[in-house]
Every structure is written in structure tokens, then in C-alpha cells.
Amino acid sequence: MMVWLILLPLLWASLAFMLGPSRGVWPAIAGLVAQLWLAFALAAEIVGSGAAMHAVGGWGAPLGIDLVADGLSAAMLLLTQCIALPLAVYAHAYFKRDDPARNYFWPLVGFLLAGLNALFLSADLFNIYVTLELLGLAAVGLVAAGGGAQQIAAALRYLFATLVGSGAYLLGVALIYGTYGTVSTVTLVSLIGADAPDLVWIAGGLMVLGLMLKTALFPFHFWLPPAHGGAPAPVSALLSAVVVKASFYLILRLWVGPFSSLTVVASLVVWFPALLGTLAVFWGSYQAIRAERLKMLIAYSTVAQLGYLFLIFPLLASAGALQAGIMQVFAHGLAKAAMFAAAGTLIKATGQEMVAGLAGVAERLPVTLFAFGLAGITLMGLPPSAGFLAKWQLIELALSQQQWVIAFVVLVGGLLAAVYVFSVLRQAFLLAPADSVVTPVSRTLEWTAFVLAAASVLLGLRGVELMQLVGVT
Amino acid sequence: MTFNELLPLAVLASSLIPGLLIFTLPESWVGLRTTLNLSGALVKLALVLLLIVGVQAGESYGVHFAVLPGLNLAFKADALGLLFITLSAVLWLFTTLYAIGYLEGAPRRSRFFGFFSLCVTATMGIAMAANLFTFFVFYELLTLATFPLVVHRGTEASIRGGMTYLTYTLIGGAVLLTGIVWLHHLLGHTDFAHAGIAAALGSAYDGQLQIIFLLLMIGVGVKAAIVPLHGWLPQAMVAPAPVSALLHAVAVVKAGAFGIVRIVYEVYGIEFAQSLDLLLPLAIFAAVTIVWGSFRALFQDDLKKRLAYSTVSQVSYIVLGITLFGPIGTVGGLVHLVHQGLMKVTLFFCAGNYAETLGIHKVSEMNGAGRRMPLTSIAFTIGALGMIGVPLTAGAVSKAWLIDGASAAGMDWAIWVLWTSSLLNAVYFLPILWRTWFKPIPKAWPAEHIVARGWRETAWLLLLPPMVTAAMTLAAGMFPNNQISPLSWAKLIAEREYVHESIIWTP
């Protein structure tokens, strides 16, 4: 089951590549449906009988490759497939026949998803490096695929960031391997103790920093807004919703896994990600409020929302912190995919990239605006939505550990999100100017965004199963 | 799922499902939309009637779902909730009728009625919430569902009004959330219960509970428009008249006032709140609001703005009644929750009629309106006299109980506050009545949209709702001790809250 989650996207990506430019939609969608089913089946199995392990080809570590899935990885796999399928349907309707961005879209998305799924299932620091590179290169390819000068520039910046990030990570892995002679995350947990040599500290620092760069945590976020804001809408959605979460997932894995004894010794170090996260919330929101282009606003919102994820690090002593983090990952993932998809539709229909050009869309494109609004509710953390549950969990954890600052940041962050979300909605509710033209768009575009947004809201009414899944170790 | 679990959900669904269906309807399908609206409202009334009969017979209705481990979305229909549910369900029917007439031929009606139904759903959720978490979920949903209604016209002015509304309510919501999560952290739950749940914590937590009370009151005080948190209400009167009715009488300010009732009686418990010295400061804020709202109303020439400031003042009657420690004050506050709704909805319906029929928006334009529109003006007169507290109107009943409650609680200054407000009410309402009835008709109305035909001074859908609500205002004032009157129900609630004291049955 786990192997197929990696093989399937590789298969349909290769098939799409062989079929030639801009072909391969239907194998991709069929593959994604199967992947979604596999992810659900895996999650159900893990809830039923605990974490699962699979030795590829019958050869276990250290000779072969082990695939390991616990609640955390199953949840991430599930989220990835849940977002990828609607976005694939959306992308099929989004690209025009002659759009150059469509040429290699399907193979690149396939490789991207294979990289992601492999990353979530790996239990070995070096394999993780390989998946990171696959993921990064496919993502850069997708950003560059449109071929405009701005997109190429953004893609190059992104390429630089992702290469430096994975370079730092690889260096860290090499140092760890030099010290302990293994790269298995399971073995390392017991090897790295509180008395670890300085070299391990440096390795850990390099790995975490490299991954923070890839997650676009403030102040390493410089590459994200142009890349996510400039890419075609389905690509922006995929990158913002899941790709940046992959490196966050790794930081979390390392933090509670191999490096857990280090973080216990240096208790102050937990405040480093939280501090950057706080700054990210404020800076990202501030830039989103100031943004004049719709997609830039959404991209900066991603910078802000990623900040919340790093607020959980000082709270990890409580069991609930991991759950709160994953709830936020789900909330933001679904909502941001919906929001970028809705923005793509709005821009396509009005021909306007600016927020100011949106007057009257509430009347002309109600479904899309509704999707945007529902996604906005999740980002603001208003009930009923997954974002609200994440916020509730975070605030309650912060209060129970007397970390007032974190509760404050979460609350103010929600209000700042309201400022930028409603700056769009206010414009949309204005009456349309007489000369505005709205070209009709396909219903598929409208409703896929809506489905994603509705999912982000409905999860807020029933989070029990997800929390149960995440709790399985 | 048993019948008693299903019924509260059915009450929610009876407006949620029509609302969602209406969103999908094309603009031109007037017939189906109207059918959905009215059948939803009538089904809801029937369900509410079932609940009333059941609760009077001592049945209990409730259901809960786990949202997160240890966190429940829980509903119950108890006597207090039913007071609010009944008010909203009845007024929703008439406001819907009115809105159908008011928006005839206007654009974007599917969107309007969709959000309108969502608003009522949120109000029902607030009324039936069985814990603070559920209360908050629907409280914020109400904010979100009313925003598109406030900005419905799409003009710059209405957007500005809407943004002011959001600024106040969202910040208030964040403060409220802080208080709720804090309380949840201390207690492990936030279920409403008779005589409160906070006292169980012990005296070590008194300080924290006082701060939490402040946070909660700021949160619900925004919607209840307590001074200085009332700034959004006069701004929001740019909305269409049915929306104003919804904001002022059916849903929004009522949700705030109802929140205060729930928190004081069923989270803290009135006796525990008194022992923490929480009631007197709240009473002072209510008193200031009552006088300040009435005072500001004096200077408004815009009719709807004058009514808005009047709401600011009148809603705090409810708050004042709650803070008067004793069953009589409680009855006065609770009964005013209903009475204010009836009177204010009448006044806003009439204001909408003047604007839609004759283009009258200002008090100074109302000369002679009574002769052109006698039925509307009679309804308006009844509403206005009720606000002043003239005998035989609903307002007189509330005021009598409030004043008795104040003297029973030994808070004589509150009596002065109430009399001052009544005097101010008279000063800003009587000149309107004078103009309406006794000044000559002007040569031309500001903008006459609807021409009179025989006795029908305006469209009948605009005329019927204010006449019915005005009649209800009179009925509640003339037969206060009738078995189905709001007063009897308020007494029932107060009896259950003050287990140790018996209620004096006539004020």
C-alpha cells in the first residue's frame, strides 16, 4: 500500500511525459483517485492497528529501504492527496490549449507528488534528502513553466533557496553519519543523547535552518511571494498548500525524534522557532494588508500562516501541541489551495490582477467568491472551521503552560488576517462599474475551489478522527 | 437518535436548509424562493411550538457532538433559550414577509435571503447553545452572516458601515474567545447550568474569574451595544430596513443581551456573581448606556439613526434588569428582551415604510405623514409610546417590573435612571408623533415611490408586519398575566433560577 503511494505518481508522471507535451490528464486523475483511496485505507489501517512499516523488496534497513507510516505521516499523506485531486481537476479546466505552462505540467506534478509521498514515508535522513531534491526541482520546474521573464526570475530565486536549503540539510546529514555511522531516524533517537558532541549540535542547526529556508519561515521567506504569487494558479495552490508543509513536517519530525534530547537540554532553543514564527505572523500579515495584487496578498498570507506552525515548538511538552500543529496544517492547506484556486478564477474572469479591480464579483461570480470567503474564515480562525479549532487548541495550550505571549500572537494574528481577507471581500461587494466585463468561466473552476474551501470549514465540525489519527505513534 | 435529540437540530435545519437552497436559486425564481422562505419560517414556528409544549411539561431537549476530544458542540432547549427562540422565530416570519415586500424587484435577492436565513440559523444556535463553545461558534457565525446583509446595497457608504460593524464585532469576538478558552482551561468544560459552574473552582480563582468576566462582558457587550462599545450600531443603519429590524430586534443586539443573561445566570450564577462584586459595575455600565443612548437620540434628525440610539439605550434595560440582584429585576430584564424586540421591530418596519413609500428619511420631513399613511403611523405611534413606557403597552410592563426590581434590590438610583430615560424617550419620540399627526401635509413628499390606492397607503406586505407586531405590543401590555404572555414565561425562568425565593406575582 505504501509503495504504491510512491509508485503511482511516478508511473502516471512517466506516462504523461512519454505521451508528449500537455497530455496525460486522465491517467493523472485516475492515479490521483487511486492515491486518495490508498491514503484513506492507510489512515484507517493505522488507526486500527498502529504504526506500519514496510521493507521495500523484502530488504530491511540498513541494506534496503524501510518505509514507515505513523499517524503523523498518514495524516500528511491524506492531506496531500485530498488537495491534489481537486487541484488536478481544477488545473485541467484552468489551462488553455496553447498555454506553455501546460506542456510539462502533468509530469512535473507527478514527480512532485511522488517526492512528497516518499518524504512522508521515509525513515532515513539520506532518503529524505533525495525526496527533498526531487520535490524542490519539480516545484521549481512548475514555477518556471509559464516561461514569462518574471516567472523565470522567481523560479531562479526559488531554485537558489531550495538548493541552499537542501545543501545545508545534506551537510548536516553527513556530519551525523560521520558521528554515529547511521542515518536511520529510528536508530538515531536512542543514539543522540544529552551529551552529544558539538558536531551534532552543528549538524542539527544546519538541518533545521536549511529546512526553515525551504519552509519560507521569516526571515527566509524572501523567495516565496514572487514564486507563489507569479506561478499559474493551480501551481501556486499546490505549492502554498502542501509543498512548504513538507519541510515543516521534517523539522517537526526531527525535533520530536532524533533531536528530542538536544531540545530538552537547551530549553531556550524552543523559543527560536517560536520567535521567528511570531515575526512571520506579523510581517506576513502586514505585507498582505499592504499588497495590491491579489495573488501577492495570498502569498504573503501564506508567510503569516506558516508562522503559526512554529508557535507550537515551546508547547511540545504537552501532547496536544502536535495535534494543534497538524490541525493548522490541514486548515491552512485546504483553505490556501481553495483561495489560490478561487483567485485564479477571479483573475481569469475579470482580467484584473489587482484587488482594486474586483468590484462587483460578488454578484457575477458568487460561487467563487463564496469559496474565497469560506477559505478566508478558516484563515482568520473564525468558527466553524478547522482554523478555529487549531486556534482554540493553540490558545488553550498556551494558557495551560502560562505562555501568554503565544495566545496573544494567535489572537492578534487572526484579527490581522481579517483585515486582509476583508480588504478583498469589501471590494468584491461593491457594485460593479458600468464598463466592467466578466468573461464566463467553466463551472469546474468555480466548484473545485468551493469543495476545497468547504472541506476546510467542515473539518471544523468534526476533528475527532483526525486527532485520533495524529495521536498514533 | 431520539425525538428529543432531533428536535433542536430540526429547529436549526428549518432555516439552514431553505437558506442553502435559496443561494442556489436563479434570481428570477421568485415563487420558489418565497415558498422556501415562508415554509421554512412556518415549519420553524411549528417546531418551536412543540418545544414550548414539551418544556412546559418538563421534558428536556438536548444533543451533543464531539468536535475535538473533550470539546463538544452541544445544544439544549430550556426555558431561557426558548424565550429567545420564540421571539426570533415569530419575528423572523414577519421580517421575511416584510423583506419580500421591501425588496420586490430589487437585484441580488437570492443572496439576500440566503444570508437572511443563515442569520436566523445562527440566532437559533445561540439560543440553544448548551455551552460557551457552542455559543461562540454561532455568535461568530452571526457576525459573518450579517456582514453581507449590511453591505447589501454595495455603495461606498454601506461598505463603510459594514467595515465598522466588522471591526467592532471581530475584535469583540477575539476578546470573548480569550475569556472562553481561559474558562475552559480552568474548568475543563463550559457547560451552562442553573446557578452557574464557576463557583466550583473555589476562592483561589476569584481574581482570575473576575478578569474572565470582564473579557466575556466586553465580548458580548459589543453586540449588546453597551457604551463605549456601541459605535457600530448607528453606523450599521445604512443597511436596508429589514436588515435593521434583524440587527436591532431579532438577532444581533439580542444575541449580545442574551449572552449576558447566559453568562451571568448559568456560567457564574447570579449569587456567585454578586459575591464576586461583578453585578454593580455591570449595572453602572448599563445605566450609563441607558442615559447616553437616549441623550444622543435627541439630536438625530435621521429617523433610523434616532431609532438606533434608542436601541442602544433600550437594550441596556435588559442588562440593568439582570444586574438588579433579585427575582423581580430578572423578570423585568427578561421580559424586556421580548418586549423591546416587538416594539423596535415595529418602529423599523414603519421607518422603512416611510422611506419606501414617500422617501422620508428624516424626522424633519415627517410633517403630516399620519394623514397620508394612517395605518403605518398608528403602528409607529404604538411602538413609540411603548418605548416611553406608556400604560397598556408592552414597555409599561417591563418598566414596572424593572422599577420594582430596583427598589426590591435597594438600588434606588436605578429608578432615577429609568425615569430619566423615559423622560428623554418622551422628548425625542413625542415631537415625531406631533409632526406626524398634527402638522399639515407638505405640498410634495421627498420622493413618492408607491401611490396610495384606497385605504392601502402602501404595498400590503409592507403594511401587514408592522400592524401585527404593533398589535402584539399592545397585547403584551394589556394582558401581561395571560398564560402565553412573555411575562409569564419570564416568571417561569426566574422561578427556576432563584430556587430559594418566591416571586411576588404582581408588581
pLDDT digits (tens, 9 = 90+) for A97-137: 888 888 889 999 999 999 999 999 998 899 999 999 999 99
| Most confident segment among A60-69, A311-320, B345-354 | B345-354
* Backbone dihedral angles phi then psi of residue B68, each to the nearest 5 degrees: -135, 165
* Backbone dihedral angles phi then psi of residue A165, each to the nearest 5 degrees: -60, -50
- pLDDT number for residue A140: 95
Q: Is the pLDDT of residue A400 over 60?
A: yes
Strand partners, B74: B64
Asked if B261 contacts B322 with a C-beta cutoff of 8 angstroms, the reply is: yes
Tell me the mean pLDDT in the region B148-176.
Answer: 93
CA distance A428 to chain B (A): 9
Closest CA to A428 of A341, A355, A361: A361
- Nearest residue in chain B measured CA to CA from A407: B178
* Backbone dihedral angles phi then psi of residue A38, each to the nearest 5 degrees: -60, -45
Tell me the mean pLDDT in the region A249-266.
Answer: 88
CA distance linking residue B380 with residue B395, whole number of Å: 14
A411 touches chain B (CB under 8 A): yes
Closest CA to B239 of B361, B157, B341: B157
Contacting residues for B270 by C-beta, under 8 A, at least 6 apart: B195, B196, B264, B279, B325, B330, B497, B498
Nearest-Å Rg of the Cα atoms of chain A is 21
Tell me the mean pLDDT in the region A16-26.
Answer: 88
- Nearest residue in chain B measured CA to CA from A374: B144
CB contact (8 A) between residue B177 and residue A460? no
- pLDDT number for residue B385: 95
Domain boundaries, chain B: 278-507
Which amino acid type is present at position B79? A
Sequence length of chain B is: 507
A374 touches chain B (CB under 8 A): no
Maximal C-alpha separation, chain B: 72
Tell me the mean pLDDT in the region A279-286.
Answer: 97
- pLDDT number for residue B505: 45
Q: How confident is the model at residue B484 (pLDDT cuts 50, 70, 90)?
A: confident
- Within chain B, how many helices (H) and strands (E) appear? 20, 2
For B202-228, what is the HEC assignment? CHHHHHHHHHHHHHHHHHHHHHCCCCC
Tell me the mean pLDDT in the region B315-331.
Answer: 91
For B159-183, what is the HEC assignment? HHHHHHHHHHHHHHHHHHHHHHHHH
Please provide the average confidence, as pLDDT, over all residues in chain B: 91
Q: Is the pLDDT of residue A340 over 90?
A: yes
CA distance linking residue B237 with residue B226, whole number of Å: 17
- pLDDT number for residue A35: 96
Give chain B positions within 8 Å (CB) of A460: 67
Q: Is the pLDDT of residue A61 over 80?
A: no
Q: How confident is the model at residue B57 (pLDDT cuts 50, 70, 90)?
A: confident
Of A57 and A254, more confident: A254
Q: Which three cell numbers stand for residue B107?
A: 437585484
CA distance B276 to chain A (A): 23
Helices of type H across A257-319: 260-265, 271-290, 294-310
Whether the link from the prior residue into A62 is cis, omega within 30° of 0, is yes
| Least trusted range by pLDDT, from A54-58, B49-53, B185-189, B270-274 | A54-58
Strand partners, B73: B65
Half-sphere exposure of B315 (CA within 13 A, CB side): 32
Tell me the mean pLDDT in the region B63-86.
Answer: 92
Q: Is the pLDDT of residue A279 over 80?
A: yes
- Nearest residue in chain B measured CA to CA from A364: B108
Tell me the mean pLDDT in the region B13-28.
Answer: 92
Q: Is the pLDDT of residue A248 over 60?
A: yes
Sign of dihedral through CA atoms B78, B84, B85, B87? Answer: positive
- pLDDT number for residue B504: 47
Option in A396, A430, A467 nearest B69 (CB): A467
| Least trusted range by pLDDT, from A172-186, A261-275, B2-16, B158-172 | A261-275
Tell me the mean pLDDT in the region A15-44.
Answer: 93
Classified as helix, coil or strand, B411 is coil
CB contact (8 A) between residue A431 and residue B155? yes
